[in-house]
């Protein structure tokens, strides 16, 4: 299609007074409450906000993809190339979606149909909007895959989604989005599910394609580092409203709205305070740990971790970083004896624990605790807050009377930054961040000496993450806790941990004091990780 | 106090979601009605369920005049049907049978030691009759028998489902939690039970059990057979659910806390299985009620003096009677209403039990 050349002063897309309400049990929720913005050709507008701020709903409203329970306000208008889009007419929007406006979603795993080959899916996207002979469409699909810089596009056409990595799948999604030469690309958290390095590559790709096709990009994200590097303008959303908008650098360097300031300062930054651990005994010491998952049937055994050495001293925070599949969670679970160890030595406060049974481990359990990644599956939905946190006390016979235990529960709650009046409430009544605090409270209630944290903040909003990191730092100081902190986010690790271990494919590639490793990485891999995490494009 | 608060909160959430389904609420109302019938069946029945009057008496016509409710029972006209040679019946010369509240009755046992000599509604005088659904082969009132049979049919189903639920839950949870060899052997046992050809077994049993066996022993055998064959399906579901729950992070957190197996099963796995069990329980009851009536039709029903819907349907297997007296099929109405009610409640429960 040949879009009309926009006249002087006319924007590619104008969103006027977008307001969306969802009907729920017992009323309506106004998810978006009157949002105005515009996007020009060749420009990237970043829509930034925390979960629940309405940014994804706004994007879906532009596409006419709101669903049955949502109601778009009657005064809301979307103007594309000077013409009103029929956003309330699903049938007519079909001609717009994927043709003039295309979308890339967060989850590349579920956005592709596992039953069809990559080639077939791209061909389908092409043929949905134009009568194209199959041969021609296939040639075009081939071209698109090359364009998104996928290696060996010819062979890829016949492959299936499960044979591709997350990053490759996201490239395929972008290829599909570009198949009809859209004028506007909506990218809804396109890299959140990907590793840092892959994330940078995908964003670079979008930037290049944007230049080549004079594409307008609406980038929805919560990551301000991404915004800084890739967006021309920024619109900050909060509770369904845009609170501040303007050129990226101007807004982020000198925010006028307190919320923008708060968001910006929630970015983890700086190095963790140095802790004097000289002469402190190691609370956890592991030598040559090897973890092998036995193969099933014909599949060969899988080596998850090899030759890992880890030392955590009292009061010290040690970070394990690595991309997904690097074996960091396997290692953490094995060190706490929640997963089997194949070989190696693990000592906890001088006691060898690698061969202990679950029963023999019990006396040590109160001294080492773990906080798991997913705040939604790590709390039993049927137990009240009080029962959840008191469990460790009851199991280990801490506190003689119920009231003594209750005092400890209250203390743990307040240490984890939660109010006291929630004892009889249930996990489902809390947000992700609050649930993670409950997990932390449960762990610290038994007064451990070592706390293992497996990606405790990766499912949370930045501002929530910042508060939890504060809490952790505070606890470390007051209780002289040792942390083994697992994360894929170097910035978080930098701000919390004194020492850092970098893992790749089950092996430790580098370890040492955080500042030394990050500023002077010895391995190529670490250097690339650091670059991807901290780089600011064009700077 | 803590416990009460917990169940109340969960219960309230479930109830709020359950109320959204009007079908479920209707089923729930019917279940309450059925519970009343189980308790007060003989009192609610308008007739003595064992009294033998005219065979295959068709349903009475119920009317209302200035003096209140009355029933008209068809009487022989003295002529025979030219095709079937059966006597023709008509209500044209029938006398009005007055119906009153708290009608007199021969003393009967309501429940345990409680003996009554009144019925809620019935003919005003002893010896008079009213047949809402007609009378069976021996001239007994089908409606009254159906009401009284509710007790046996539902209690039988309740017993069977309770047993299969407990066994299925224990076996499934054990297999799912222990894994390994225990799991493998239990699964093979489940395979065998699920592959068992049940219908031939029931027919064989019907033929093998001596007619002289007492009705109590017979019911025991029936319950035992249905229970032994019934737990396998649930145990497999529970096993899968336990496998899933045992991998939840909160179970891992409990292990990290030093909790033993007993505590993990009782506090972390069992409560989360309960919703599934509750739904399965509600949805299994109607299948047993159906099975019981079906087996009765095949001849494997409880023995008199007990009355069950299955036993009542046994009479129907003399097919020749159905053509002339279709009303003898009416015990099916009781089965139908019960099955519908439990299924409606079960479906609504299934949508409601996971409020989180």
Q: Which of B280, B140, B180, B168 is nearest to B230 (CA)?
A: B168
For residue A369, what is the nearest residue in chain B, using CA coordinates? B256
Which of A365, A369, A372 comes nearest B249 by C-beta? Answer: A372
Question: Which residues does chain A have with pLDDT short of 50?
Answer: 1-8, 537-539
The Cα–Cα gap between A218 and A111 comes to 19
Which residues of chain A make contact with B259, given a CB cutoff of 8 A?
Answer: 391, 395
Whether A380 sits inside 8 A of B268 (CB atoms) is: yes
Q: Which of B230, B209, B210 is nearest to B167 (CA)?
A: B230
Query: What's the CATH fold of domain A313-534?
Result: Rossmann fold (3.40.50)
| pLDDT given for residue A537 in this prediction | 46
For residue A362, what is the nearest residue in chain B, using CA coordinates? B258
SS3 of chain B: CHHHHHHHHHHHHHHHHHCCCHHHHHHHHHHHHHHHHHHHHHHHCCCCCCCCCCCCCCCCEEEEECCEEEEECCEEEEEECCCCCCEEEECCCCCEEEEEEEEEEEEEEEECCEEEEEEEEEECCCCCCCCCCCECCCCCEHHHHHHHHHHHHHHHHHHHHHHHHHHHHHHHHHHHHHCHHHHHHHHHHHHHHHHCCHHHHHHHHHHHCCCCCCHHHHHHHHHHHHHHHHHHHHHHHHHHHHHHHHCCHHHHHHHHCCCCHHHHHHHHHHHHHHHHHHHHHHHHHHHHHHHHHHHHHHCCCCCCCCCCHHHHHHHHHCHHHHHHCHHHHCHHHHHHHHHHHHHHHHHHHHHHCCCC
| pLDDT given for residue A340 in this prediction | 86
In Å, how far are A430, A492, B13 from B17, measured between CA atoms? 20, 41, 6
* A351 SS3 class: strand
Domains, in order of start, for chain B: 2-41+146-352 (1.10.3720.10), 60-130 (no CATH)
Whether B258 sits inside 8 A of A361 (CB atoms) is: yes
Whether A369 sits inside 8 A of B256 (CB atoms) is: yes
Whether A395 sits inside 8 A of B259 (CB atoms) is: yes
Per DSSP bridges, beta strands A83-84 and A77-80 are antiparallel
CATH number of A13-266: 3.40.50.300
Quote the minimal CA–CA distance from B4 to chain A in Å. 11
Whether A336 sits inside 8 A of B2 (CB atoms) is: no
Whether A395 sits inside 8 A of B257 (CB atoms) is: yes
Q: Helices marked H in A320-461 — which ranges?
A: 328-335, 358-365, 385-395, 402-415, 432-445
| pLDDT given for residue B165 in this prediction | 92
Region for residue A41 given its phi and psi (left: phi exceeds 0; alpha: psi -120 to 50; beta: otherwise): beta
For residue A364, what is the nearest residue in chain B, using CA coordinates? B258
Whether A424 sits inside 8 A of B5 (CB atoms) is: yes
Residue with tokens 């991309």: A323
Quote the minimal CA–CA distance from B267 to chain A in Å. 8
Which of A369, A382, A439 comes nearest B271 by C-beta? Answer: A382
The Cα–Cα gap between A191 and B80 comes to 88
CA angle in degrees (0–180, nearest 5) for A94-A96-A98: 85
Check: CB of residue B168 under 8 Å from CB of residue B234: yes
| pLDDT given for residue A87 in this prediction | 84
Per-residue pLDDT tens over the stretch B259-278:
888 888 888 888 888 888 88
Whether B250 sits inside 8 A of A380 (CB atoms) is: yes
Whether B272 sits inside 8 A of A378 (CB atoms) is: no
Asked if A13-266 and A313-534 have one fold, the answer is yes
Check: CB of residue A370 under 8 Å from CB of residue A354: no
| pLDDT given for residue B5 in this prediction | 42
| pLDDT given for residue A39 in this prediction | 93
| pLDDT given for residue B9 in this prediction | 65
Which residues of chain A make contact with B355, given a CB cutoff of 8 A?
Answer: 428
Whether B2 sits inside 8 A of A369 (CB atoms) is: no
Q: Which of B46, B70, B35 is nearest to B119 (CA)?
A: B46
Whether B256 sits inside 8 A of A386 (CB atoms) is: no
The Cα–Cα gap between B254 and A275 comes to 31
Per DSSP bridges, beta strands B96-111 and B87-90 are unpaired
| pLDDT given for residue B32 in this prediction | 92
The Cα–Cα gap between B215 and B236 comes to 33
Best interface-test mutation with B: which of A381, A430, A442, A452 has the largest number of B CBs within 10 A?
A: A381
Residue with tokens 């806390």: B257
* A343 SS3 class: strand
**What's the burial of A146, exposed, middle or buried (CB within 10 Å: 0-12/13-18/19+)?**
middle
Which residues of chain A make contact with B5, given a CB cutoff of 8 A?
Answer: 384, 424
| pLDDT given for residue B266 in this prediction | 85
* Per-domain residue ranges of chain A: 13-266, 313-534
Best interface-test mutation with A: which of B18, B249, B277, B351 has the largest number of A CBs within 10 A?
A: B249
Q: Which of B171, B157, B173 is nearest to B335 (CA)?
A: B157
Whether B10 sits inside 8 A of A382 (CB atoms) is: yes
What is the full per-residue pLDDT of chain B (356 aa) written as tens digits?
334 344 456 777 778 888 888 888 899 999 999 999 888 888 888 888 888 887 778 888 888 887 777 877 777 777 777 777 777 777 777 777 777 888 787 888 877 788 888 888 888 777 778 888 888 888 888 888 888 888 888 888 899 999 999 999 988 888 888 888 888 898 999 999 888 888 888 888 878 877 777 878 888 888 888 888 888 888 999 999 998 888 888 888 888 888 888 888 888 888 888 888 888 888 888 888 888 888 877 777 777 778 888 888 877 766 666 777 788 788 888 888 988 898 888 888 887 876 55
Number of Cβ pairs < 8 A linking chain A and chain B:
84
Which of B10, B258, B263 comes nearest A366 by C-beta? Answer: B258
Whether A378 sits inside 8 A of B250 (CB atoms) is: yes
Instruction: Tell me the residues of A at the B interface, defined by beta carbons under 8 Å apart.
Output: 333, 336, 338, 358-359, 361-363, 365-366, 368-370, 372-374, 377-384, 386-387, 391-392, 395-396, 424, 426-428, 439, 442, 446
| pLDDT given for residue A2 in this prediction | 43
| pLDDT given for residue A125 in this prediction | 87
Q: How many Cβ atoms are within 10 Å of A421's Cβ, its own excluded?
A: 8
The Cα–Cα gap between B46 and B100 comes to 10
For residue B249, what is the nearest residue in chain A, using CA coordinates? A378
Whether B253 sits inside 8 A of A370 (CB atoms) is: yes
For residue A387, what is the nearest residue in chain B, using CA coordinates? B2
């Amino acid at each position: 299609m040949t879009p009309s050349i926009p006249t002087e002063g006319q924007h590619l897309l104008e969103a006027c007074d977008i307001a969306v309400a969802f009907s729920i049990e017992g009323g309506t929720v106004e998810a978006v409450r009157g949002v105005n913005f515009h996007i020009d050709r060749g420009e990237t507008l970043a829509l930034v906000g925390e979960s629940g701020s309405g940014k994804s709903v706004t994007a879906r409203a532009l596409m006419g993809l709101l669903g049955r329970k949502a109601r778009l306000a009657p005064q809301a208008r979307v103007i594309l190339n000077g013409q009103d889009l029929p956003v309330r007419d699903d049938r007519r929007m079909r001609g717009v979606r994927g043709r003039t406006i295309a979308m890339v979603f967060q989850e590349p795993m579920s956005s592709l149909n596992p039953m069809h080959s990559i080639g077939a899916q791209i061909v389908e996207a092409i043929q949905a909007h134009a009568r194209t002979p199959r041969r021609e469409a296939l040639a075009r699909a081939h071209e698109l895959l090359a364009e998104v810089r996928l290696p060996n596009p010819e062979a890829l056409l016949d492959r299936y989604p499960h044979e591709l990595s997350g990053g490759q799948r996201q490239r395929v999604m972008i290829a599909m989005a570009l198949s009809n030469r859209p004028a506007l690309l909506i990218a809804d958290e396109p890299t959140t599910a990907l590793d840092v390095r892959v994330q940078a590559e995908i964003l670079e790709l979008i930037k290049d394609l944007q230049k080549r096709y004079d594409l307008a990009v609406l980038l929805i994200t919560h990551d301000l580092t991404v915004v800084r590097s890739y967006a021309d303008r920024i619109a900050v959303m909060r509770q369904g409203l845009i609170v501040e908008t303007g050129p990226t650098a101007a807004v982020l360097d000198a925010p006028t709205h307190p919320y923008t300031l708060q968001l910006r300062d929630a970015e983890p930054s700086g190095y963790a305070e140095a802790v004097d651990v000289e002469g402190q005994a190691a609370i956890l010491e592991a030598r040559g740990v090897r973890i092998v998952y036995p193969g099933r049937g014909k599949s060969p055994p899988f080596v998850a971790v090899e030759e890992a050495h880890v030392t955590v001293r009292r009061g010290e925070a040690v970070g394990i970083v690595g991309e997904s599949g690097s074996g960091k969670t396997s290692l953490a679970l094995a060190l706490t004896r929640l997963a089997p160890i194949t070989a190696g030595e693990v000592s906890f406060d001088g006691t060898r624990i690698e061969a202990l049974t679950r029963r023999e481990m019990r006396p040590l359990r109160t001294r080492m605790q773990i906080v798991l990644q997913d705040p939604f599956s790590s709390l039993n939905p049927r137990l009240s807050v009080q029962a959840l946190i008191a469990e460790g006390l009851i199991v280990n016979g801490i506190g003689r009377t119920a009231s003594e235990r209750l005092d400890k529960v209250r203390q743990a709650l307040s240490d984890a930054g939660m109010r006291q009046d929630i004892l009889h409430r249930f996990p489902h009544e809390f947000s992700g961040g609050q649930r993670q605090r409950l997990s932390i409270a449960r762990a610290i209630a038994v007064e451990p000496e070592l706390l293992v944290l497996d990606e405790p903040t990766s499912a949370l909003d930045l501002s929530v993450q910042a508060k939890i990191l504060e809490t952790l730092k505070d606890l470390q100081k007051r209780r002289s806790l040792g942390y083994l902190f697992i994360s894929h986010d170097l910035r978080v690790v930098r701000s919390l941990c004194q020492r850092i271990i970098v893992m790749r494919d089950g092996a430790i590639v580098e370890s040492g004091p955080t500042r030394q490793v990050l500023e002077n990485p010895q391995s190529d891999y670490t250097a690339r990780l650091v670059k991807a995490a901290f780089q600011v494009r064009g700077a | 106090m803590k416990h009460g608060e917990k169940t109340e909160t969960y219960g309230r959430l479930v109830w709020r979601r359950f109320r959204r389904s009007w079908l479920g609420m209707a089923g729930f109302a019917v279940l309450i009605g059925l519970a009343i019938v189980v308790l007060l069946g003989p009192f609610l029945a308008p007739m003595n369920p064992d009294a033998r009057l005219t065979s295959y008496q068709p349903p009475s016509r119920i009317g209302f005049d200035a003096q209140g409710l009355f029933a008209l029972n068809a009487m022989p006209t003295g002529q025979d049907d030219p095709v079937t040679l059966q006597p023709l019946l008509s209500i044209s010369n029938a006398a009005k049978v007055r119906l009153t509240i708290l009608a007199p009755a021969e003393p009967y046992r309501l429940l345990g030691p409680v003996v009554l000599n009144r019925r809620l509604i019935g003919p005003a005088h002893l010896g008079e009759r009213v047949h809402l659904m007609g009378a069976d082969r021996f001239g007994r009132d089908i409606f009254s028998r159906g009401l009284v049979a509710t007790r046996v049919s539902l209690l039988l189903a309740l017993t069977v489902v309770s047993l299969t639920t407990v066994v299925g839950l224990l076996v499934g949870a054990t297999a799912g939690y222990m894994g390994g060899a225990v799991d493998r052997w239990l699964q093979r046992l489940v395979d065998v039970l699920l592959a068992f050809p049940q219908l031939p077994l029931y027919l064989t049993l019907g033929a093998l059990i001596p007619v002289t066996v007492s009705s109590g022993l017979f019911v025991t055998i029936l319950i035992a057979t249905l229970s032994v064959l019934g737990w396998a399906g649930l145990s497999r579901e529970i096993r899968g659910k336990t496998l899933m729950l045992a991998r939840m992070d909160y179970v891992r957190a409990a292990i990290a806390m030093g909790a033993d197996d007993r505590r993990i099963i009782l506090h972390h796995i069992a409560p989360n299985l309960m919703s599934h069990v509750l739904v399965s329980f509600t949805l299994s009851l109607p299948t047993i009620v159906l099975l019981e009536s079906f087996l009765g039709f095949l001849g494997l029903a409880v023995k008199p003096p007990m009355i069950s819907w299955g036993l009542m349907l046994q009479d129907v297997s003399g097919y020749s009677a159905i053509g002339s007296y279709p009303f003898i099929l009416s015990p099916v109405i009781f089965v139908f209403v019960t099955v519908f009610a439990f299924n409606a409640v079960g479906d609504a429960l299934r949508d409601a039990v996971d409020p989180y």
